[in-house]
A and B are shown apart, each in its own frame.
Chain A
Amino acid sequence: MMIDQAPALIIIVPLFVSLVLTLAGSLGPRVAYGLLLCGMAGSLLFSLLALGQVVTDNQAIHYRMGDWPPPMGIELVIDHLSGLVLVLVSACALLTAIYSLRTAAEDNPDRLNHYYALFALLVTGLLGMTASGDVFNLYVLLEISALSSYGLLARGRGPAYYATFKYLIVGTIGACFYLLGIGYLYIMTGSLNMLDLAEIISRPELQDSVSIKIGFSLMILGVWIKMALFPLHAWLPNAYSKAGITTACLIAPLMTKVSVYIMLRIMFTVFSVDYIFDSIAWSQVVIYLASAAAVIGMITALAQRDLRMMLTYIVVAEIGYMTGGAWVANAAGYTGAVYHILADGLMTLCLFMAVGAVIYRTGQTSLAAMQGIFKRMPITAVVLVIGAASIIGIPPTCGFFSKFYLIQGAAQAGAWVFVAALLIASLVAAVMFFKMLEIAFFGDLKALEQEPGGGHGHGSHDGHDGHGALPAVARQEAPLSMLIPMVITAASLIILGLYTKEVVNYFIGWSIPAGF
């Protein structure tokens, strides 16, 4: 019985946690933390159960909300793809929740409960979006996750408000474009259910309809704005880099990945391979955009002096990888894109966590904070190296295998621009991380101290390590609550890499859309 209800419980459990956290305003921070952990662990458990059932039965689970049959009611659909993304989202959320013990309490001395309630709401929104089988329901959950991310990001320091406002305006434009796209589809088909829509759109009389094309363009454009594809990415680095440590760890890996997942859903579930690559001949343009995103994102990241600014531009570049993989129009590219959702979710989380720990300990956000972390924070440094290796694409980390599939797909499709972009981006990433690790190993303290913009911004820093006495300090490893999730994430990067074949065969292989 629990297994039958698992699809609903994945989403309901964090929702209830959020409500209870709001109601129980007077409970202590420990209780709030415990509740949050329970909620996230529950989601992960039910996601695993649902995915397990999908794999054993080898067919998608259709869960009818309110027992109404699909085109009239709303259904949740968990197939190989969405099951995998659900597990990724809930696992990342759980790891971040564990990680948040110290940082969240310091960033939010008051209202920790409300902060955690928003945390749980954001996760509810992301999980709901992933599981939903109804385009309008997806919009509502998109707005829930967007709203709660505005709230979380606005908890940052001074400049965060303006950056969040920009994000709010851009995010609303994106969501409204998506809504307008639904409107066009609804006018032409009369349906909102994804599978029903797909069936109606595939009818010959709608193949050449301009309105359907406009609807598709608006929906995709909205999702691109939400996921910060290259020319539309300006809001992302500012908004994400000024957030609190926990917020950045939660939002940066997950929001964009779920948006990519939605793009795949729209492209291959609502519309079909034939429609997208034959009726709408955009794929060349999109591949150029994706290539530009990858190269420009990485080069801009190289130019940054602020650690988190650097990571956010890496996120922009990675979006280019996944978009390109989805639009090269073959099975290898699609596999690469989906596998990269998993890999990138984990490696972005890994890097944000490690950098967050460094910022937490040093109180600095500039590259200078990396000074001698191999001596002071050896475990964090190793985690950072593994994350960096994965971004660059060094085997056996999973970053290598996703890039391998992406390049294979691009080569099969003859998209040499994208192949070149991937290789250049990897090279730039290598340069960037070697620069960072060089500072970490041999950094010349005096040279760095003279640089402006050292950024002693972390106000809530509680001073058990002096700002000024960086090199002299002995080991100051991050607290255990941060180390455990970091080590798990770093280990999972390698484990995922080692089991690439299994993941591709048992999960992604089944979700490759018909027509490839």
Chain B
Amino acid sequence: MKRLTLVILAICALIMLAAAVDLPNWADPSSPASTHLSPDFLEQGYGETATPNIVTVVLADYRSYDTMFEAVVVFAAALIVLVVLRRTPRQRSKMVQHRPVREGRDTVLRGAAQLIIPVMQIFALYVVGHGHYSPGGGFQGGVIFGASFILLALCYNLQFTIDRFKEQAVLFCVAGGVLLYAGVGAICLAMGWNFLGYAGLAGILGVSEVMARSHGILLVEVGVGITVFSVMMSLYYDLASGGDLDEGL
């Protein structure tokens, strides 16, 4: 069976390799991908949104409908992991699992964590906020922010983190971030523009349409950041403790 799979896959691979004949060469400036839509984005993007980072522009404005569902995907993941794994204490009592309980004071670890976590969090906020001008944005910033909390949970323990950031609050952030994103879209819709047409924010914010797009991008990036960081924590809470939220790794 395994041999057979290997043979079939090898044949598929050969077919696909042979098909590479008419693919454009790597980094060919005249390939269709580089000449069809990409120049439009690069030449019009800045003028229409006042945001130099074109990746951010395409992500959060031209294709912002995709990005909203991207945030929904992580939201869904958090929800599913919660639904699948999370157990109430009543259910848990049926089966006792022994986890190694960590004793002692990891002074070095904790000291290092205290030192590095604030820096990480400030850097994460910078990455979210500076996404207009440099590589970065909601996803990257959110991941760094979430990682700082996971580091806290690793260096202290899970309970320590949960006491400071309750499960309910995390869940609130998970849905709240997506709600902020979709809410911005809905406000634009209510202002008579299409869904996620940030130009509709111009009237509320009192700026030009181009600047309204720039602000709209920032707003949705913040929404994405909130969702991503809280999803990271939610996933970590549930996966690390097997859904019990007690001891963790």
Contacts and interface: CB of A to CB of B under 8 A. Distances in A.
Interface of A: 1, 5, 8, 12, 15-16, 19, 22-23, 25, 63-68, 71-74, 110-111, 114-115, 117-118, 121, 124, 128, 134, 136-137, 140-141, 143-144, 147-148, 150-151, 154-155, 186-192, 200, 209-211, 213-214
B93 to A, nearest CB: 15
Contact of A73 (B24, B62, B69, B76): B62
26 contacts: A12-B182, A12-B185, A22-B174, A25-B168, A65-B196, A66-B62, A66-B194, A68-B61, A71-B36, A111-B86, A114-B82, A118-B80, A137-B66, A141-B69, A147-B73, A148-B76, A150-B80, A151-B76, A151-B84, A154-B83, A187-B24, A188-B22, A189-B32, A210-B21, A213-B19, A214-B16
A19 B61 contact: no
Interface string B169-204: 001101110110010011001001111111100000
A148 B195 contact: no
Which among A22, A66, A144, A147 has the highest number of chain B CB atoms within 10 Å?
Answer: A66
B214 interface: no
Given A8-B194, A8-B195, A19-B179, A190 B79 contact: no
A66 B197 contact: yes
A22 B83 contact: no
Contacts of A22: 75, 79, 171, 174-175
For the complex of A and B, 6 pairs with smallest distance between CB atoms: A190-B36, A151-B80, A67-B197, A190-B32, A8-B195, A65-B65
Nearest to A132: B65
Contacts of A140: 66, 69-70, 73
B116 interface: no
B72 interface: yes
Contacts of B40: 71-72
Contacts of A65: 64-65, 194-196
Given A12-B185, A151-B83, A190-B38, A23 B179 contact: yes
A67 B199 CA distance: 9
A72 B37 contact: yes
B175 A66 contact: no
Nearest to A164: B84
Interface string B19-62: 11111100000011111111011000000000000000000011
Interface of B: 15-16, 18-24, 31-38, 40-41, 61-66, 69-70, 72-73, 75-77, 79-80, 82-84, 86, 88, 168, 171-172, 174-176, 178-179, 182, 185-186, 189, 192-199
Contacts of B185: 12
B73 A143 contact: yes
A170 B40 CA distance: 38
Contact of A15 (B16, B34, B182): B182
B69 to A, nearest CB: 5
A12 B195 contact: yes
Contacts of B36: 71, 189-191, 200
A14 to B, nearest CB: 11
A8 B189 CA distance: 9
Contacts of A148: 76, 80
B37 A5 contact: no
B32 A211 contact: no
Contacts of A68: 61-62
A16 B183 CA distance: 9
Nearest to B168: A25
B79 A209 contact: no
A64 B188 CA distance: 13
Contact of A71 (B33, B37, B66, B84): B37
Contacts of B194: 5, 8, 63-67
Contacts of A186: 33
B224 to A, nearest CB: 14
Given A151-B84, A211-B22, A188 B32 contact: yes
Contacts of A19: 75, 175, 178-179, 182
Contact of A118 (B32, B83, B176): B83
B33 A72 contact: no
Nearest to B33: A190
A190 B35 contact: yes
B84 A187 contact: no
A192 B185 CA distance: 22
Contacts of A141: 69
A134 B82 CA distance: 31
A5 to B, nearest CB: 6
Given A67-B193, A118-B80, A187-B32, 14 more contacts: A8-B194, A19-B75, A19-B182, A114-B83, A121-B79, A143-B73, A144-B72, A147-B80, A150-B80, A154-B83, A190-B34, A190-B36, A200-B32, A214-B16
Nearest to B174: A22
A400 B15 CA distance: 43
A118 B175 contact: no
B16 to A, nearest CB: 6
Nearest to B34: A190
A286 B17 CA distance: 25
Contact of B83 (A15, A66, A115): A115
B195 A211 contact: no
B72 A15 contact: yes
B146 to A, nearest CB: 18
Contact of A210 (B19, B33, B195): B19
B63 A73 contact: yes
A53 to B, nearest CB: 16
Nearest to A137: B66
Nearest to B193: A67
B237 to A, nearest CB: 15
Contacts of A63: 194
A65 B198 CA distance: 10
B178 to A, nearest CB: 6
Nearest to B86: A111
A143 B69 CA distance: 10
